[in-house]
Amino acid sequence: MTIRVVVADDHPIVRTGLSALLGSLPDFEVVGVASDGREAVREVISTKPDVALLDLHMPGLDGIAATRELARVAPRVAVLVLTMHDDDESVFAAMRAGARGYLVKGVEQDDIARAIRSVAVGEAIFGTDVAQRVLASLQSPAGAADVPFPELTAREREVLDLLAAGLNNAAIARRIGIATKTVANNVSSIFVKLQVSDRAQAIVRARDAGLGRG
């Protein structure tokens, strides 16, 4: 059985390397490549692969939002995350979005191939460190991980909290000591992840979750 794969990563060297690796193995066929989340979704819809190998932090639509969209439009395609980020927020946000596997870049090439084969047949696969973190979370007291909008990064949640408190971008930038453009980028990412179209909708969602009251 040949496993058909779409590779999505915003770094050309990584895309090329992964494509070359998989293309050198007899049971893989790379049917599409993408440099951002939106392109990844388009490639998956058009090529109908068995597995989508996604980075998390890509321009435009990031890997979390792309995974969530693929779960909606192509539920039979297994998403395997391959990223530099191994923090709890990224891991659990990817899992909640529908990722079937999560690997941190730096793993052996054989581990990547093995993970793709596993998710293609319906298994869940995680790197050793990630698996240990998942188990630790499951063993922790109920409610310990209850955080509003877990798909957001800590910075995005901070920006959303201040947004819900009525601050504009310039005021948020002054409050937390970052550039106004960075705030704007965070706000755009928040809109995508929360699937809202404007600030008013984001503020309503945030206040309903208890943000903006500090």
96-137 tens-digit pLDDT: 889 999 998 888 999 999 999 999 999 988 776 666 656 665
3-state SS, residue 55: coil
Edge-first strand listing for the sheet containing 28-34? 28-34, 3-8, 51-54, 78-83, 101-104, 125-126
Q: What is the pLDDT of residue 149?
A: 87
**Of 2-16, 40-54, 138-152, 191-205, minimum mean pLDDT range:** 138-152
What integer pLDDT is reported at residue 106 of this predicted model? 87
* pTM for this predicted structure: 0.65
Q: Which residues pair with 6 in a beta bridge?
A: 32, 52
Any idea which architecture 3-139 has in CATH? 3-Layer(aba) Sandwich (3.40)
Q: Which CATH number fits domain 154-208: 3.40.50.720, 3.90.700.10, 1.10.10.10, 3.40.50.800?
A: 1.10.10.10
pLDDT at 131: 60
pLDDT at res. 43: 97
pLDDT for 153-200, tens place per residue?
888 989 999 999 999 999 999 999 999 999 999 999 899 888 888 899
pLDDT of residue 30 exceeding 60, the answer is yes
pLDDT at 153: 86
Domain-wise residue ranges, the chain: 3-139, 154-208
At residue 139, the pLDDT reads: 55
Give the residue-averaged pLDDT of 140-149: 59
Instruction: Look at residue 75 in the predicted model and tell me its pLDDT.
Output: 93
Round the average pLDDT of the chain to a whole number and report it: 88
Cα 188 from chain centroid (whole Å) = 15
Query: How much is the pLDDT for 28?
Result: 97
